[in-house]
Structure 1
């Protein structure tokens, strides 16, 4: 005679238990929300409030001026020059860092023994301090003592004032920006390459994709879509936020040729103590970055295969 085994049904969760679980979850989230409020939301609100005033750093009182600061920014030739310099910088750094990062990742991904060495070498610029990096680059690009101009002179060219000539200063900083970002983008692309199943390459080879270029175009590149979108968005935001290399190497010169948006904001806020106008420039900068990132994400998302 078979014995019947009684299986007890799970007890339904009471409303009190559900409420307790929600309260516990809110308790864990509360410190993060407080930090987000104090470090991001409140400063952004203060920034927006100051943009409608004539406040100067150190002043005891201020008045509301409405949209006068925004009208001043739109008609300011220095601001327009800073926007132009920033866009030129991004137009050089963004494609250069993405393409070279992908190229380096593809070359390094297949190596077994030497891969850690190349990863460390390419990642070193990210860990380098700005002061040390600026000192090294100033020596390398020195018109009389630098090895770059020494090579140019041996080839029959005149020495180039990379950091003193307005025609070369901004492209030079852009090349340094590419040098800084390539290693980080390479690591991201390596992670994306590691997630691609090897079976797909074998199937593509059976279907006739024998050359590495064909396999890259049919398998690697489409499957790297999400990684590429992330790399493009993060690289563009990082490029727009260029500031440290300008401060360390050119300080906006020569003749304002490297004065980018963040450096212009820094001058207005901490050199000229014009806090209200600096707040307007910062607000415009944040809105510009947000719009650019959103448009970029939606455009790229339609072309990404998940």
Structure 2
């Protein structure tokens, strides 16, 4: 009887211990959740205040006919968005921006990788070359744009004087519809080159030497074979990061257009952000400019998600 009677007591004690363990586990989870929200709270509040609220505000303004400085406004629904999508000037600036991005992003990645490989293979003055190539990224772009304007001057500019001395035909680089956008793209590559180079240098240093030794044993004796089988695959994450960052910076190009061309000649160099600025602050069509900002944000976010989705499948993570 005593043995049989002890079983309910053991079960009750076990049930009490199990309930206490569950309560302790539940309290621990509550404490961890509270700690997580406490740590993430300031960043989340800043994200809401600095990003989501402005985006909501811009979208609200885009639904009105408000003009900058006006004391009244009227709700117009999606009229501004319909006008944006049917505006030939907006389509021109969108095409110019896409062409600019298509030139700048691959050019920056290729040139940044080539310079990083050359610096990494060198034996001396590495820090000097790094500083020289990184300087454009750190310099004020407006000041550099003025320097580029002087270099590209059609008569006294160093570029045309050099070409003329070599017997090569010159051009009005910033005043010709056929050359202005490629020239701006070259300036964009020059600006972002140092940033890509530094990241590629960090990526090259993180590649284990054992992989190159294994590739050599497998018959990859030429540097091109090692580049194709080891270097490029191992630089996949760095390349994807550079691709996304440079693409975003290229979409946001404004300074060089404002300083060098003001969108001309004939809107041939007008970018999306410059169109937004002109409509909002020169023509004072704030509601219409806000609708351009919303469309611009939608395009950038969509293209970024597509880039991440497509490239992430091709990236090799260690």
TM-score (norm 1): 0.92
Q: Note if 1:133 corresponds to 2:144.
A: yes
The partner residue of 1:98 within 72, 95, 109 is: 109
Q: Which runs of 5+ in 1 are unaligned?
A: 1-10
Using the TM superposition, give the Cα deviation of residue 15 of structure 1 relative to its aligned residue in structure 2, in angstroms: 5.1
Q: Note if 1:211 corresponds to 2:245.
A: no
CA shift in 2, pair 1:22/1:112, >3 Å: farther
Which position in structure 2 is the counterpart of 1:69? 80
Using the TM superposition, give the Cα deviation of residue 271 of structure 1 relative to its aligned residue in structure 2, in angstroms: 1.1
Which position in structure 1 is the counterpart of 2:90? 79
Q: Distance in 1 between matches of 2:227 and 2:72?
A: 63
Q: Distance in 1 between matches of 2:80 and 2:221?
A: 61
Using the TM superposition, give the Cα deviation of residue 155 of structure 1 relative to its aligned residue in structure 2, in angstroms: 2.3
Equivalent residue runs for 1:228-243 within 5 Å:
228-243=239-254
Aligned residues of 1:144 and 1:159 also touching (Cα < 8 A) = no
Using the TM superposition, give the Cα deviation of residue 180 of structure 1 relative to its aligned residue in structure 2, in angstroms: 0.6
Q: Note if 1:31 corresponds to 2:42.
A: yes
Q: Does the residue aligned with 1:166 lie in a helix, a strand or coil?
A: coil
Which position in structure 1 is the counterpart of 2:15? none
CA shift in 2, pair 1:111/1:169, >3 Å: same
Q: Which runs of 5+ in 2 are unaligned?
A: 1-19
Which position in structure 2 is the counterpart of 1:251? 262
Using the TM superposition, give the Cα deviation of residue 305 of structure 1 relative to its aligned residue in structure 2, in angstroms: 1.5
Q: Distance in 1 between matches of 2:25 and 2:297?
A: 46
Stretch moving more, 154-163 or 94-103: 154-163
Aligned residues of 2:96 and 2:271 also touching (Cα < 8 A) = yes
Which position in structure 1 is the counterpart of 2:191? 180
Which structure has the larger Rg over C-alpha atoms?
2
Which position in structure 2 is the counterpart of 1:271? 282
Aligned residues of 1:89 and 1:170 also touching (Cα < 8 A) = yes
Aligned residues of 1:96 and 1:178 also touching (Cα < 8 A) = yes
Which position in structure 2 is the counterpart of 1:193? 204
For residues 220-241 of structure 1, the C-alpha deviation after alignment (integer angstroms, 9 at most, x for no partner) is 1111111111111111111111
Q: Distance in 1 between matches of 2:97 and 2:32?
A: 49
Stretch moving more, 150-159 or 89-98: 150-159
Q: Distance in 1 between matches of 2:43 and 2:50?
A: 10
The partner residue of 1:118 within 129, 132, 153 is: 129
Using the TM superposition, give the Cα deviation of residue 26 of structure 1 relative to its aligned residue in structure 2, in angstroms: 2.6
Aligned residues of 1:54 and 1:62 also touching (Cα < 8 A) = yes
Q: Note if 1:155 corresponds to 2:166.
A: yes
Which position in structure 1 is the counterpart of 2:271? 260
Q: Distance in 1 between matches of 2:279 and 2:182?
A: 25
Aligned length: 296
Aligned residues of 2:142 and 2:255 also touching (Cα < 8 A) = no
